[in-house]
Amino acid sequence: MTTAQLEKGAGCTAFERPERMTDPSAPLRDAERGHTLHPAKWWIAAGIFFTVLAAYILSSPGRIDIIDGQTRYDVTRNWLLEGRPVLTDSWIGPYMGVVGRDDRVYSLYGAPASVFAMPLVWLDLHSGSPSIERSRFLFSLTSPILGAGIAVVLFLFFVELGLPRQWALVWSMVSSFSSLVWPASNSTFDNAQHAFFAIASLYLGFLSAKRASTLLAAVAGSLAGILVLYQEYFLLIIPVLAISTVACAPARSSWDEEELPSAPQSPSNGPRAWFALLRTAFRGPGEARSSCIRLVVFLAAATFGLLLSLAYNDLRFGTYLLFGKVHAIVNRHPLFGNPLAGSLTLLVSPGKSIFLYSPTIVLGILGIRSLWRRHPALAFAISAASLILILFLSCIAFVGGDWCWGPRYLVSLLPAWALAMPFALRDRKVRRDVVLGIIALGLLVQVLALSVENQRFFLERGLNDYFWAEDPWFYFKHSAIFARIGETLSLNRGLPATAQLFNSIPIPDWSTYSLLGPPPFAPRSIAPVWMRGFKIFYLPRPWPLWMAWIPPAMRPINMRAWVLGLLAVNLLGIGLIYRGLRIRGDHEQRV
């Protein structure tokens, strides 16, 4: 079909709601899925949340694992106690703060990671016996909670894409435990939080197109706007995420249909089709105009996030346009780096390649063509957002987001790529054992990621704080993922005799405060020797393991009660999933 035919309305319009206008049986199927099986879907979704949440918390460090998290925690606590998002921590303030209104020091980060942790910290403050150690432990659970939310959104998204519920369950679990989403959800870095709002926005945008709902488009845009409150650079991909609200008729509309090699290409796959959408929208009412309205509503709602970000700047610094993070960065190291080194670092380097740290993304790439044929607007949004993000990150000096595990800035779009993974197995006839092998490799990598303190790699090499600015090709010479094998095996040797303290902070009773590193006046060459005085580098990373080495009176929580409680939550989740699958099976037997 040509673009001219599209404009004249000949044949099946490219900008229609999928399924309802292309498949006469779709209304019946929608009725069955939306009403008869509706309880099953929500039983399973609830079960996924509790199961993944318990697993994430049990495998988390149970402490603030990076100075960025410590900064956000201090803002959370001060916001609750003083009513202002000030940074008062004397150890990290000189490095992570910017002087703003009333000569007070403010964090250089956005508000959401501190705001979303407030209920957890509030629980400790109002517990009757507040404990700063327990407070930091609870703060560290923010990302695990939102990470479990990613799994739920993915399951619901898979169902909307037409996958049977049992397969939607399987693939949501694959994304949760065989991709970089897992270690990102177990860190006080906020990248898993970015991923939650990105996939939730994409999901509701897709639903708005499927149900022709302007309200859903507005909610989707609002969620996308939250990304701007985290990091301003998300403004680059929000217009692309908005394309999910456009309804395009697919070449194949059902998960159950085979992909035919000779299937005609949908006009929506061509670059001229988007201009055809605008021309058709101006000519009169119809799905093209509705799609344009939803897209505009999405962008308008997302703009509210930008306005809040500017208001937060004014609250802290007395000006709308001063972005604290950029101001702090340019005073310490170059902002821009080598684009060639940056792109190759993210894609093919042995030290930061996304394919090494999250092997299952290969399945997403293999399945994106089939997803494009079925849901072209969604596949275009995923592909374009990824390209834009990689191009941007490649140009900045801190492309790897260090000090951290893997290319954490790419985590925000990993759940979106998970949407294409099932289609690699369904249509491309990829061998099942190859798929299982990739999933198993991904699981192994994530288990290694969670095994040892991540900063051990950087300290054993005596690296400077901004080593990545000094050598943009660093990750072609060193690899944390390959070094992790030896680090994990070294846990069998136990603690060195020199490791007398748990952490490097001046208060030895604290175990949940972030690492501070060697003294600032000392050369970094002493780091490999300095670190041997602390247990944190030689104990397993998950809190149920390292906390067993801490005297009970010094533990931030009742370890036994928490472990048993989380195991009970996990069993609850499994029971809810089983209940949801049984509802589905009973329905099929009645049919």
Q: How many CA atoms lie within 13 A of 249 on its CB side?
A: 19
pLDDT at 360: 97
- Give the residue ranges of the chain where pLDDT is below 50: 1-37, 259-269, 585-591
C-alpha angle 583/584/586, rounded to 5°? Answer: 65
- Taking alpha carbons only, the member of 86, 38, 24, 43 closest to residue 315 is 86
pLDDT at 455: 94
| Alpha helices for 257-374 (secondary structure H) | 273-283, 287-317, 324-330, 339-347, 354-357, 361-374
C-alpha angle 429/433/438, rounded to 5°? Answer: 95
How far, in whole angstroms, is CA 470 from its chain's centroid? Answer: 28
Contact status, residue 193 vs residue 113, Cβ threshold 8 Å:
yes
| Strand pairing category for 105-107 and 97-99 | antiparallel
Contact status, residue 379 vs residue 421, Cβ threshold 8 Å:
no
Count the neighbouring beta carbons within 10 Å of the beta carbon of residue 115: 17
Is this structure's pTM higher than 0.85? yes
In the block, residue with structure tokens 């005085």: 533
Whether the bond between 167 and the residue before it is cis, its omega within 30 degrees of 0, is: no
- Taking alpha carbons only, the member of 358, 508, 534, 400 closest to residue 456 is 534
pLDDT at 10: 32
pLDDT at 13: 41
Rounded to whole angstroms, the Cα distance separating 273 from 14 reads: 8
pLDDT at 262: 37
Rounded to whole angstroms, the Cα distance separating 340 from 361 reads: 22
Please, which residues have CB within 8 angstroms of residue 472's CB and are 6 or more apart in sequence? 337, 338, 341, 342, 345, 397, 399
Q: Is 98 helix (H, G, I), strand (E, B) or coil?
A: strand
pLDDT at 469: 87
pLDDT at 334: 78
Rounded to whole angstroms, the Cα distance separating 188 from 66 reads: 7
With residue 166 as reference, give the H or E element that holds it. Answer: helix 165-177
Please, which residues have CB within 8 angstroms of residue 14's CB and are 6 or more apart in sequence? 1, 6, 248, 249, 266, 267, 268, 273, 276, 277
Domain ranges of the chain: 3-36+178-449, 67-139, 479-554
Q: How many CA atoms lie within 13 A of 585 on its CB side?
A: 8
Contact status, residue 57 vs residue 144, Cβ threshold 8 Å:
yes
pLDDT at 336: 86
Handedness of CA 236, 306, 328, 141 (dihedral sign): negative
pLDDT at 425: 82
Q: What is the mean pLDDT of the chain?
A: 86
Paired tokens of 419 = 């949407």
Rounded to whole angstroms, the Cα distance separating 186 from 190 reads: 10
